[in-house]
Structure 1
Amino acid sequence: NKLIAELKEGTSPFQKPWNDSDAPAFTIPVNPTTNKNYRGMNALWLSMQGYQDPRWMTLKQADYAGFTVEKGAKATLINFVKTSNMEAIRDVNGDKIKEESGQTQTRVTALDKPMITNAWVFNAEQIKGVPPLAEYLTQNRAEQRWTPIERAENLLAASQANINHGGNEAYYNKAKDVIQLPFKQQFDNETKYYAVALHELGHWSGHESRLNRSMEGRYGSEQYAREELRAEIASLMIGSELKIGHNFGQHAAYVNSWVKILKDEPFELFRASADAQKIYDFVLDLGEKRDLKQDTKATQDNTILEKGGEAATLAKGDEIGYNNNVYKVLDLKGKTFKMEDMEGNKFNLKQTDGLFKSLVGAKNNPAEQQLVTEQAAEEVSVSRNKIGR
């Protein structure tokens, strides 16, 4: 009922994707005591409670962390599959063991079998003693090699989806298994392009060779609207993870259909959220597998070199002497290497470039490379001391 009301008022997470500070309005709710995101329906439900802080925890978790839930605070109910249990560590007298900070020492024990259970959680804005959100994000933000746009591009590349550009429409053609998008320059900015592209990638994930969702309905049908609801929730989650937000745009046409479906079948939101979580997991996993593959390839090449073999590519951190210069590999993004020469000039290098093959060849000849590196260093030293050129 709450989502139906917000859809009618135009205030649902789908319809207001950006907040007043021009940042994504939807942030995946997280439990700061476990550093795990809430998933599926729980993520959507908690994000609709009107709080700006995405952190949530139970009364027990707050107590163990040394925080205090404000008197009279109203908890929010969630349900989830429980696979482990957190309990306080006690001394021989049965008293809880606390750290100097006042936080109770805990341990996590696995349950014999998963169980579906409920939990009442409180938002960080209802709890005293919780560190400021900015501080928490700084301490717990995973190091990212890529910018949000680069992560989005990497996900599209990792999917190996067939993407065609042209025209003014964005859609996924299931029969041909093709994503159709307008050209990037037709969008107001890159962020909107990638938000739309990832939405269509969400539909692409439903192909029978992937997550195999039912997508038989035609445009305007109820079945079509159900699929759009799944892709829209997934877009919220993926946009939050990548920090690019999402673009509601043309999907406003489905609002009335969603309202009707949710009125007739309230549980459809749970099913849609569960499917959206599967889309999120599937798409994000593509990027993780690609990063792992690239890291593994670089490690294998270095191992090959150490054993006297020949590497087939470059790796981050390589410094290669070639043609009276020394080239350093700063980073690898997709199939493009970020390079820097001895003069400090930075440039992108692709595997199809002639210099790439030359550098790989030089990398496989360390003795010759050492001589070139020393000569280049000497020339740069002399060159930098010349004045009035």
Structure 2
Amino acid sequence: MRQPSRRSTRGDDAPRAARGDLYDAVTRRIIAELEAGRVPWVQPWEAGGAAPGLPRNALTGRAYSGINILILWSALTENGWRAHAWLTFRQALAAGGSVRKGARGTCIVYADRFTPNTEAEKTGSGDAPKTIAFLRRFTVFNIDQCEGLRADLAPDPAPLADDEILPQAEALIAASGIDVRIGGDRAFYAPAEDVVQLPPRRAFFDPVNFYSVALHELTHATGHKARLDRQILNRFGTKDYAREELVAEMGSAFLCSALGIAPTVRHADYLGAWLDVLRADNREIFRAASAASKAADWLRARHGAREAHAA
């Protein structure tokens, strides 16, 4: 919680319609889950036997980000798969195996921008070239849907031992460089002072909840103009405020999962506001997931840099 403070230019209709359909399909699914009382970034991990973690490509080891995390988490939970590792059909073949006959893939997306040739010619003319957004679909398969894969694929990151999880969470908080103060009975981020305030650990029934709350507030803090420069000075109760809470909820979930902590919902009371935001614009969940992923990556990079320096 933050402390309250005072269309494409292309003439190509078919690709634009395809992008719209994709935004609609993903947004409709997220809305349906929220309406059913299931929060897509809070997974019942034990249902499939998968430990908390972030989805990654099994061949390259590269982690998926943004909306793809929610899409792949949802598919994992729905199907009871045990691994967060995914491959395209061709990658399964390249890995010496194949996708099992009849397996249904999961559609993920790749978003980027390109500069048309006519715009690229403006470079140096004083006019900034315009870029055009594009969205592509890719189909991936969980490795539980594959067979015959070679044994040397990118391994799952070794899970932290139970007695290492909280120290690593503590180290991530310290590495952020953000001013975190302990005391009182409220948790919030104050943008004007650039301070995260947290109740003492003893105030939480389960010590791990202290860290999920802390990561929620630290995600807010990444939006400060000196960091990722996200719009965070939003009046309480507005749609912009609800959007930023959505970013913080997912940012905390992504960070918790990377640490081996099962994500929780910090502000379920914002559910109605989130639904209003998503129903009004089918791209909002994409923007929020992207911002949450960037925030989590920022905090993890600081932590990784400190760990590397210490080594």
TM-score (norm. length: structure 2):
0.75
Match for 2:64: what amino acid? Y
Find 2:67's aligned residue among 38, 41, 51: 41
> Does the C-alpha gap of structure 1 residues 164 and 3 become closer, same or farther in structure 2, counting only changes over 3 Å?
same
Query: Structure 1 residues 31 and 44 mapped into 2: Cα distance closer, same or farther (>3 Å)?
Result: same
Structure 1: gaps spanning 5 or more residues: 83-114, 296-389
Are residues 1:199 and 2:216 paired? yes
Give distance in 2, aligned partners of 1:288 and 1:70. 37
Match status 1:238 vs 2:264: no
Conserved? CA contact 1:26–1:47, under 8 Å: no
Corresponding position of 1:359: none
> In structure 2, how many angstroms separate the alpha carbons of the residues matched to 1:288 and 1:20?
28
Q: Which amino acid aligns with 1:122?
A: F
Tell me, yes or no, if structure 1 residue 160 matches structure 2 residue 187.
no
Q: Which residue of 1 aligns with 2:141?
A: 122
2:286 aligned with 1:270? yes
Residue 252 of structure 1, CA deviation: 0.3
User: Partner of 1:169: helix, strand, or coil?
Assistant: coil
Worse overlay, 40-49 or 116-125 = 116-125
2:40 matches 1:13: yes
SS at match of 1:36: coil
Q: Offset of 1:262 from its aligned partner?
A: 0.8
Query: In the superposition, relative to structure 1, how do residues 143 and 166 fare at CA in structure 2: closer, same or farther (>3 Å)?
Result: closer
Q: 1:185 aligns with which of 163, 184, 202?
A: 202
> Residue in 2 aligned with 1:215?
232
Q: Tell me the equivalent position of 2:242.
A: 225
Please say if 1:280 is aligned against 2:280.
no
Map Cα deviations across residues 47-87 of structure 1 (whole Å, 9 max, x no partner).
Answer: 112233322111101111122212222222222269xxxxx
Tell me, in whole angstroms, the C-alpha distance in 1 between the residues paired with 2:239 and 2:232.
11
Structure 2 stretches of 5 or more lacking a match?
A: 1-27, 113-133
SS of the aligned residue for 1:160 comes to coil
Counterparts of 1:258 and 1:280, CA distance in 2 = 20
**1:141 — aligned with what?**
157
AA partner of residue 118 (structure 1): R
Which entry has the higher C-alpha Rg, 1 or 2? 1
Relative distance call for 1:263 and 1:116 in structure 2 (3 A) is closer
- Measured after TM superposition, the shift of residue 144 of structure 1 is 6.7
RMSD over aligned Cα atoms: 2.8
Q: Distance in 1 between matches of 2:48 and 2:164?
A: 17
Structure 1 or 2: larger strand share? 1
- CA distance in structure 2 between the partners assigned to 1:268 and 1:189 by the alignment: 33
3-state SS of the aligned residue for 1:209? coil
The 2-side partners of 1:38 and 1:177 are apart by 30
Q: Match of 1:271, SS?
A: helix
Determine if the alignment matches structure 1 residue 60 to structure 2 residue 90. Answer: yes
After superposition, the Cα gap between the structure-2 partners of 1:258 and 1:74, relative to the gap in structure 1 and judged at 3 Å, is same
Which deviates more, 49-58 or 197-206? 49-58
After superposition, the Cα gap between the structure-2 partners of 1:9 and 1:259, relative to the gap in structure 1 and judged at 3 Å, is same
Question: Aligned residue for 1:79?
Answer: 109
CA distance in 1, matches of 2:158, 2:282: 36
Is the aligned partner of 1:28 residue 2:54?
yes
Aligned partners of 1:73, 1:155: CA distance in 2, in Å? Answer: 39
SS across alignment from 2:59: coil
Report the CA distance shift for 1:211/1:23 in structure 2 as closer, same or farther (over 3 A).
Answer: farther
